A and B are shown apart, each in its own frame.
Chain A
Amino acid sequence: MKKMVRKNYLLPAEITSKLRGMVKSGRYATESEVIRKSLLHLIGRETGRAEEISRQLDELAEETAKYLPKKKTAGQLVHQVHVEESHAL
């Protein structure tokens, strides 16, 4: 696996002190390990959230498509709205 090093990034004092504490607790070997695992956890959560939203949108699309007219494209539907709304004014 290709590794990229990011050095000299600044962290607030409260975070660095927490990092030190977590290493001292013995659960992590280094501060870098804490940061790496935290980032992987965050990325995993964000990926999960994205998958969940995609799944929800797919379900909603399946339900919505039952109502939308098949003979009109999305563009034609919206255009019809523009015309009808203009006439309604």
Chain B
Amino acid sequence: MRYYFDASALVKRFKPERGQKTVKTVIHDASLGAHEIHSIYWAKAEFYVAMRRSNVPQKLAARNLRTLAEIVAFDPLTAHIVENALGLVYEFNLHAADAIHLAACTNLACEAMLTDDEHLVGGDVKEYLERHAVKLINLEENP
């Protein structure tokens, strides 16, 4: 299985709350070669800012990212992804960052998307992902 993690799914790995077990399992299985996990470079910046805003020390935040990057493939944010995201902003009235993740997920041909972002779990977004054969995994609804 080819998974896509948005920034919220990456942060969830470090936050003991609902959905963390699912994230841990997918990452662990991926480290054994059972899955692929993709995200985009942009998610690194979002992750880092989320850590910074929470006063997580810089060295710790950097180690978190380095360790994640041993398993997660961070792909370039291409002009094509941004072009696709523009349409999604209008279609679903999304924040730019959410639209970028949605477009990246389908452009990278991922089969499932993990998110904890309430703006990405609406019925219309789910339908859109289903049209692209992507399963939406709402971490709020998972252990």
Q: Do A and B bind each other?
A: yes
Bound CA–CA A47/B95 (angstroms): 40
Quick check: A82 and B98 within 8 Å, CB to CB? yes
A30 at the interface (CB under 8 A from B): no
- If over half of A's interface residues share one DSSP class (helix, strand or loop), that class is named, otherwise mixed; here it is helix
Quick check: B17 and A57 within 8 Å, CB to CB? no
Q: Which residues of B contact A (CB under 8 A)?
A: 6-9, 11-19, 24, 27-28, 31-33, 46, 49-51, 53-57, 60-61, 63-64, 67-68, 70-71, 95-98, 115-119, 139-140
A1 at the interface (CB under 8 A from B): no
Given A64-B60, A65-B15, A68-B14, does the pair A53, B53 have CB atoms closer than 8 Å?
A: no
- Segment at the B interface, from A8-16, A20-28, A73-81: A73-81
Quick check: B7 and A78 within 8 Å, CB to CB? yes
Quick check: B67 and A84 within 8 Å, CB to CB? no
Bound CA–CA A57/B18 (angstroms): 17
Bound CA–CA A82/B49 (angstroms): 10
* Residue of A whose beta carbon sits closest to that of B34: A50
* Contact residues in A for B13 (Cβ distance below 8 Å): 57, 61
Bound CA–CA A46/B32 (angstroms): 7
Quick check: A60 and B31 within 8 Å, CB to CB? no
Bound CA–CA A49/B125 (angstroms): 37
Bound CA–CA A9/B55 (angstroms): 54
* Contact residues in B for A38 (Cβ distance below 8 Å): none
* Contact residues in A for B95 (Cβ distance below 8 Å): 79, 82-83, 86
Given A50-B31, A74-B17, does the pair A81, B50 have CB atoms closer than 8 Å?
A: yes
Bound CA–CA A86/B61 (angstroms): 22
Quick check: B53 and A80 within 8 Å, CB to CB? yes
* Contact residues in A for B51 (Cβ distance below 8 Å): 64, 67
Quick check: B71 and A68 within 8 Å, CB to CB? no
Bound CA–CA A28/B17 (angstroms): 51
* Residue of A whose beta carbon sits closest to that of B33: A46
* Contact residues in A for B32 (Cβ distance below 8 Å): 46-47, 50
A54 at the interface (CB under 8 A from B): yes
* Residue of A whose beta carbon sits closest to that of B121: A75
* Contact residues in B for A74 (Cβ distance below 8 Å): 8-9, 11-12, 15, 17, 19, 50, 116, 139
